Structure 1
Amino acid sequence: MKVPVTAAIRELRKHGIAFEPHFYRYEARGGTAVSARELGVTEDCVVKTLILEDDAKKPLIVLMNGDREVSLKNMARLLETKAVQPCKPDVAQRHSGYMVGGTSPFGTKKRMPVYLEKRILDFETIYINGGKRGFLVALNPHELVRALEATVVEVGV
């Protein structure tokens, strides 16, 4: 299958990041469990891209292992803000330029700070959205820190 040229793929190429494309049958509300099952990998090495906002409505990205959730309380504490919550789907799409289920941290419409769960770096290869539903890219997780200038955090539960 031909690699779609999404904003994420253009960004990966611009940064010289080696990646391997993977396609799967997208299921609405299937999340990382479906993509992990379809690719035959464990869910913890599939990374979800979450668009959140602080109490001032400033957007941010949290990259989290597929089998974990973000502790919103710990994230707010880390950011020294009252609260952090997930953006509504239409707001997330406005910030990222991607549809929910196809959100990548690469090539977002708005530049947002990126926070990366520390456990992601334990893997040699991770699978993250390539900017389209049903399309993941496999890459070295340390590239996330380098290319996205991600801050490493421990907010997974």
Structure 2
Amino acid sequence: MSKKKHAKGTASTPATVELDKAGITFTLYEYEHSNDSEEGFGLEGAHKLGIDPHKVYKTLMADTGSERVIGVVPVAGHMDLKKLAAAVGAKKAQMADPKVAMRESGYVVGGISPLGQRTRHTTVLDESVLEFDEVLVSGGKRGMSVGVKPEDLIAVLHASVAPIAAD
């Protein structure tokens, strides 16, 4: 595991480039990703980094029928598609096909970041982000996360905040 304060100019993914361009300070967290892990990408990262899984967030793409939207929820839980649909004013939502998510985000599954996506989408963060001084999201590749202040993440993503995690 490696944790280091980000030094401007060391950006290596579209996610870190977006944070740099916005002037947002972040911490880079890296760990050795294991292809054998059965706990899921986000939980694996939380455990290997020794960080509470409620502070580590996963990025999921859903399709409302009229648009694709991004939901960001704690890796310790799941996204409630009905709540996500309601948050964006849609009647329903379903998970987007992983191939579509990879193509539109520019990232591979397990490394999809809400930051620096190839195609900008409406983004909703679960309200639990407001409980922490720092949250982690994917840095744009497997084994890499970025720690940011929730208010900075909301600002750079032009995101809304709503209760979209499953109870």
> Does TM-score exceed 0.5, indicating one fold?
yes
Distance across 1 between alignment mates of 2:11 and 2:25: 16
Distance across 2 between alignment mates of 1:92 and 1:118: 23
Quick one: percent identity of the two aligned structures? 33
State the secondary structure of the residue aligned to 1:100.
coil
Q: How much does 1:89 deviate?
A: 1.2
The residue aligned with 1:52 is 62
State the secondary structure of the residue aligned to 2:72.
strand
The residue aligned with 2:148 is 139
- Amino acid paired to 1:81: A
The residue aligned with 1:61 is 70
2:15 to 8, 16, 20: 8
The residue aligned with 1:36 is 46
- Amino acid paired to 2:41: G
Q: Would the aligned equivalents of 2:84 and 2:124 in 1 still touch at CA under 8 Å?
A: no
Q: Would the aligned equivalents of 1:20 and 1:139 in 2 still touch at CA under 8 Å?
A: yes
State the secondary structure of the residue aligned to 2:54.
helix
CA offsets 1:86-111 (integer angstroms, 9 cap, x no match): 11111101111111111111111101
* Structure 1 vs Structure 2 CA RMSD: 1.7
| Unaligned 5+ runs, structure 1 | none
| Unaligned 5+ runs, structure 2 | 5-9
Normalising by structure 1, we get a TM-score of 0.92
Map residues 1-157 of structure 1 onto 2, 5 A cutoff.
Answer: 5-28=12-35, 30-56=40-66, 58-157=67-166
Normalising by structure 2, we get a TM-score of 0.87
Runs of 4+ in 1 over 6 A off after TM superposition: none
Q: Bigger CA drift: 80-89 or 12-21? A: 80-89
